[in-house]
Amino acid sequence: MSNDNIVLYERKPLPAKLPLIGWSLLLIGVALTVLAFSIDNVRASYNLIIVLMMVFSVGFGSLFLIALEHIVGADWSVPFRRLTEIIAAVLFATPLIALPLFLNLNEVFSWLNPVVMDSDKYIKNKSPYLNESFFVIRNIVVFLFMFLFYFLLVGRSLKQDKTGKADTKKWSTKISAIFLPIFAILITVVAMDWLMSLEPKWFSTIFGVYYFAGSVLAALAVLTFIAITLAENGYLSKYLTEDHYYNFGALMFAFTNFWAYIAFSQFMLIWYANIPDETMWYMQRGGEGWMTVSLGLIFIRFLFPYLALVTRPSKSNPFRLKIIAVWVFIAHYYDLYWVIMPEYTKKTELHAPVYSWFEFTVPILVLGVLIVVFSLVAGKKNLMPIGDPKFRKGMEFHL
């Protein structure tokens, strides 16, 4: 590959059936969601929050991965950066998913109910933050910031395919440095607004980090699966090696451990201090019925991926990585289900896990959104950043 004349990447159009699959999944998902809203709009709303949070994880996590590459000057991920950029475009679907929720806020967030608000002085003290107008305003601000940074980070990279300008790197590095602290604040706001405020009385200062760890895992899983599947079917460069994939495995391994560390830290501190305002959240998830789901989370989200990724071959073997990526993505769904649905069963006083076609619309809708956005945005673009001066160096990456 030291020969500069080798063509590293030639564009091959994506198969025509991909948008077809995507649109049909999306239509089924939307139809089911509409049906669900007409039957039981509370339950449908809670499930739509899971969809929103999953799509958000993938988009925002991808944006984080792009910024991470720029700011640490990584070589290995340059060949995959275009894929990450395309996946990050699912962020544009989030306002559409959130729209029915904004119309239904009263059904979901109990802090909008003045009776609940006045019943507890802790909830009442939070009213400067938890009120309808501020909620809507700050979420719009979050969306605007997301779009702004998407264009700032991705726009020049797309132009680079034609111009091959080297100064884009400097620009992207600067933008990433500005983006990362803002990203930390935005993802904390999102986690607090859509996940924590379902239980308005609860306190946990680490919750934003918890959602962040899961988000990066979800984004990595989607990226790994798409990259390996496309590469195996010849849509990417034929010079990609297992060394390139190794870092997917290593990062997933690292973030699996990070997630476990954060989740356990949150649990242990709350368990140790034993203050009712904090333990209530875990009490709800440790009650009969939910206890099994909670214990399952340890295995599904941490132990299985940990053991699956611990050896070196499984971090670079494409087949194993694909399976693990699917597993990690399902585990993210499981995690969000565990965070969100106990609040639904608490509200409806069922106090046991529920799973029926209501819940099953979630994966259909999420897959539909991901595939449709991917096929739409990928369109006529190159799937690898051929104009990036570091592209060749990235292709020559060795462990």
Partner 1 sequence: MDNKILHSVTAIFHTPDDIINAAKAVVKEGYKKFDVHTPYPVHGMDQAMKLKRSPLGYFAFVLGVLGATLGLLLMYWTMTIDYPLNIGGKPTFPLPAFIPVTFEITVLLASVATVVAMIVIFFKFPNNSHPLHDTEYMKRVSSDKYGVTIEAADPNFDLEKVKAFLAKLGGTNVEPIYFDNDEINAKRTLLEPKFLTGLAVISVLVIAITYFTLNKLMFLEPFNWMMNQQKITAMEVTTFFDDGFSMRPPIEGTVARGFKPYPYKDSVDLASRFLVNPMEFSTENLENGKRKYNTFCSPCHDYHGNGVARLNGQFPNPPSLHTDKVREWTDGHLYHIITVGQNTMPSYDKQLTQDEKWQVILYVRALQRALNAQEGDLQ
Region of 20-28, 178-186, 269-277, 327-335 interacting with partner 1 (CB under 8 A): 269-277
**Contact partners, residue 166, CB within 8 Å, separation at least 6:** 389
Contact call for residues 183 and 67 (beta carbons, < 8 A) = yes
Interface with partner 1, residue 3, by CB under 8 A: no
Interface with partner 1, residue 271, by CB under 8 A: yes
Interface with partner 1, residue 23, by CB under 8 A: no
Query: What CA dihedral angle connects 242, 369, 135 and 133, to 10 degrees?
Result: 150
User: 45 vs 266, which CB is nearer to partner 1?
Assistant: 266
Interface with partner 1, residue 302, by CB under 8 A: no
Q: In angstroms, how far is the first alpha carbon of the chain from the final one? A: 16
Interface with partner 1, residue 264, by CB under 8 A: yes
Q: Which of 118, 167, 243, 277 binds partner 1 (CB under 8 A)?
A: 243
**Residues touching partner 1: how many (CB under 8 A)?**
14
Q: Which of 311, 348, 357, 393 binds partner 1 (CB under 8 A)?
A: 311
Contact call for residues 145 and 187 (beta carbons, < 8 A) = no
Rounded to a whole number of angstroms, the minimum distance from the CB of residue 68 to partner 1 is 20
Rounded to a whole number of angstroms, the minimum distance from the CB of residue 313 to partner 1 is 8
Interface with partner 1, residue 274, by CB under 8 A: yes
User: 161 vs 396, which CB is nearer to partner 1?
Assistant: 396
Alpha helix stretches (DSSP H) within the chain = 17-39, 41-72, 81-88, 94-103, 105-108, 114-119, 121-125, 132-163, 168-194, 207-232, 242-273, 276-286, 290-297, 304-309, 312-316, 318-347, 357-378, 391-395
Q: Which x/- pattern over 118-157 shows residues binding partner 1 (rule: CB under 8 A)?
A: ----------------------------------------
Rounded to a whole number of angstroms, the minimum distance from the CB of residue 271 to partner 1 is 5
Interface with partner 1, residue 398, by CB under 8 A: yes
Phi, psi of 104 (to 5 degrees): -120, 20
Name residue, tokens 């940074």: 149
Interface with partner 1, residue 268, by CB under 8 A: yes
Query: What CA dihedral angle connects 64, 359, 271 and 292, to 10 degrees?
Result: -130
Interface with partner 1, residue 233, by CB under 8 A: no
Q: Which of 147, 171, 267, 304 binds partner 1 (CB under 8 A)?
A: 267
Interface with partner 1, residue 17, by CB under 8 A: no
Contact call for residues 58 and 365 (beta carbons, < 8 A) = no
Q: Which of 2, 3, 5, 133 binds partner 1 (CB under 8 A)?
A: 2
Region of 16-24, 113-121, 145-153, 265-273 interacting with partner 1 (CB under 8 A): 265-273
Rounded to a whole number of angstroms, the minimum distance from the CB of residue 397 to partner 1 is 7
Alpha helix stretches (DSSP H) within 164-317 = 168-194, 207-232, 242-273, 276-286, 290-297, 304-309, 312-316
Interface with partner 1, residue 185, by CB under 8 A: no
User: CA 223, CA 225: separation in Å to the nearest integer?
Assistant: 6
User: 121 vs 398, which CB is nearer to partner 1?
Assistant: 398
User: 320 vs 381, which CB is nearer to partner 1?
Assistant: 320
Spell 237-257 as b/e; 16+ CB within 10 A means b. Answer: beebeeebbbbbbbbbbebbe
Interface with partner 1, residue 312, by CB under 8 A: yes
User: 60 vs 246, which CB is nearer to partner 1?
Assistant: 246
Contact call for residues 370 and 55 (beta carbons, < 8 A) = yes
Interface with partner 1, residue 272, by CB under 8 A: yes
Interface with partner 1, residue 4, by CB under 8 A: no
Residue type at position 22: G
Chain residues that interact with partner 1, rule: CB under 8 A: 2, 243, 264, 267-268, 271-272, 274, 310-312, 397-399
